[in-house]
Amino acid sequence: MTTFDQLVKQVRQQLLGFALNQESVSELSVSMTAGDTTFTCDASTVTNLSRGLVEIDDELILVKTFDQTSGVVSVMGLTNGRGYEGTTAASHSAHTLVTSNPAFPRARIKEAINQTITTLYPELVVFSSTEITKLAPQVEYELPSDCSDVWYVTGQLIGPSKVAQPLPNWRYNPKARTANFPSGKSIQILDYVTAGQAVKVVYAKPPTQLANNSDDFAATTGYPDRYTDLVVYGTCMRLLPALESARLQQQSVEATERAPLVPPASAAKAMAMYAQLYQQRLAEERDQLYADVPNYAFFQGS
């Protein structure tokens, strides 16, 4: 089982390993609430912080000043400095790490993870199914609202064999009249199926994004857990251009000092590497998807 929080940590390890980045950190001495405009850090490490952004859990906070003796940190703009850069002001418990100027904030990593999950579709789909009881006079039946495409349809034969045969003649209607089908999705069964028999419709749907740190990747998205490395590669590919952009803003002295360690276009080269890994894994999983759940192109032999 891989959680959202574990995915974030895997991405951070990949990215910060590349950047040779050693972020300055402190920790909260006492807990803080979502409305606090000051917070207290460990006095022996508060000097690791500086004016600017700090990250506590998923929240970014804009720091104004800190007192080296007491460890009290003041927030710039009072509550305007809480939940900075689109993050959410939240409560934080004592001993939570406080990171100064994080290279890749958790909030941005989470956004990139969900963007990667979303764009895996329609190359990789999530499968679900529904069963319909065939009625003698009825041809068209409602499908669930999360259906985005029909993968295959089977109809149960009469008798004790319990065989469900593939039905090749059906039509998916993604724009069904809501007066007849409230979900707006329907399927027309054009093959003969004896009335009263079950018709199983296996359909494709998009994945669900992750929200909470404890969300299980497979249970929430609908994708198998083996896709996690694919998501990590795709997320790194999305985030790495930020390193190249940041490099363009460096002062000349700093750029000169860093040049031997991180030459120009290093981020672009790393991004290309992750893009290659991502495309390779995507092709492997797409082939596996069609092998595990063949559609009617397979059943018809074409």
Domain coordinates of the chain in residue numbers? 1-21+103-124+209-302, 23-102, 126-205
Do 73 and 62 form a contact (C-beta atoms < 8 A)?
no
User: Which positions ≥6 away from 274 have C-beta within 8 Å?
Assistant: 233, 234, 236, 237, 240
What is the spatial distance between Cα 25 and Cα 79, in angstroms, rounded to a whole number? 22
Render pLDDT for 223-268 as a digit per residue (tens, 0 to 9).
999 999 999 999 999 999 887 765 555 555 455 545 555 566 677 8
Q: Tell me, what's the pLDDT at 98?
A: 97
Q: Tell me, what's the pLDDT at 72?
A: 97
Residues in the chain, how many? 302
Render pLDDT for 169-203 as a digit per residue (tens, 0 to 9).
899 999 999 999 999 999 999 988 999 999 999 99
Tell me which residue has tokens 């039946």: 141
CATH 1.10.3470 assigned to 23-102: no
Cis-peptide, bond into residue 137, ω within 30° of zero: no
Which segments in the chain show pLDDT lower than 50?
253, 257, 297-302
Q: Tell me, what's the pLDDT at 51?
A: 92
How many Cα neighbours within 13 Å face the side chain of 263? 2
DSSP state at residue 3 = B
